[in-house]
Structure 1
Amino acid sequence: MNTAFSRFRLISITEGISYLLLLFVAMPMKYLADNPYPVKVVGMGHGILFIFFTFVLFNAMIKYRWNIGVAFQLFVYSLLPFGFLLIEKVIKKLPQEENQK
């Protein structure tokens, strides 16, 4: 957890799981069980994690010199359910070490 890359991976997975919880647990509870409270709680947590995700994505992009196209691709994947799995696939191919000048 002491590198930008490991922080990005952790936040990406956590944010992705929170999105799945929102879609497949909280939303059905809201509409099928008439209980809006889980959407408020999980939705707030997911929103905070999503904002955090954008910050750590930007940090990793700068630190590891990922091009803007890759960063945009990762951002778009974060909007998809199960997108964190696609993000994992892409980032395993990206440079994980800081480029030294």
Structure 2
Amino acid sequence: MGAALTRYRMIAYVVGVVLIMLVVVGMPLKYGFDNPVVVETVGPAHGFLYMLYLLAAFDLGRRAGWSLRRMALVMLAGTVPFVSFFAERGVTREIADRLRAPAPERERVAG
């Protein structure tokens, strides 16, 4: 599950940064200055990266045993600026705690 978490974390950061760039730089340029170049280049990149984000979130959620609702909320976090960073932080904390906890099998063998 550690590799799935790493993949999710990396793509969550990238999607978050690209979305912020699109909203903070691209949208004002397009609608305020009639210059759509950033939206035309960054928009499709964000769409492609968001699909990778969905795959990474699904993979991690499946491995972690999340409910469908939890998985959908984490997936939707990539659509709102800054939210992907908060979601990533919470997911990382949860999964890291799980990975640090001793497995029940290891406790029985050690005891």
| TM-score with structure 1 setting the length | 0.84
Residue in 2 aligned with 1:51?
51
1:100 Cα deviation after fit? 9.5
Question: Gaps (5+ residues) in structure 1?
Answer: none
Residue in 2 aligned with 1:29?
29
Change (3 A) 1:23 1:30: same
Change (3 A) 1:12 1:35: same
SS of the equivalent of 1:35 reads coil
Q: Compare the two structures and name the one with the higher helix fraction.
A: 2
1:38 Cα deviation after fit? 1.2
1:13 Cα deviation after fit? 0.9
Distance in 2 (CA, whole Å) between partners of 1:69 and 1:100 is 27
Q: Which structure has the larger Rg over C-alpha atoms?
A: 2
Q: Percent identity?
A: 25
Please tell me the root mean square deviation across aligned C-alpha atoms, in Å. 2.2
User: 67-76 or 30-39: which moved more?
Assistant: 67-76
- Deviation readout 1:9-29 (Å, 9 max, x if unpaired): 010110011110110101111
Amino acid at match of 1:73: L
Residue in 1 aligned with 2:4?
4
CA contact (8 A) 2:26 2:39 kept: yes
Distance in 2 (CA, whole Å) between partners of 1:50 and 1:64 is 20
Distance in 1 (CA, whole Å) between partners of 2:3 and 2:42 is 28
Amino acid at match of 1:44: P
Distance in 2 (CA, whole Å) between partners of 1:83 and 1:3 is 22
Question: Gaps (5+ residues) in structure 2?
Answer: 106-111
Change (3 A) 1:70 1:94: farther
Residue in 2 aligned with 1:95?
95
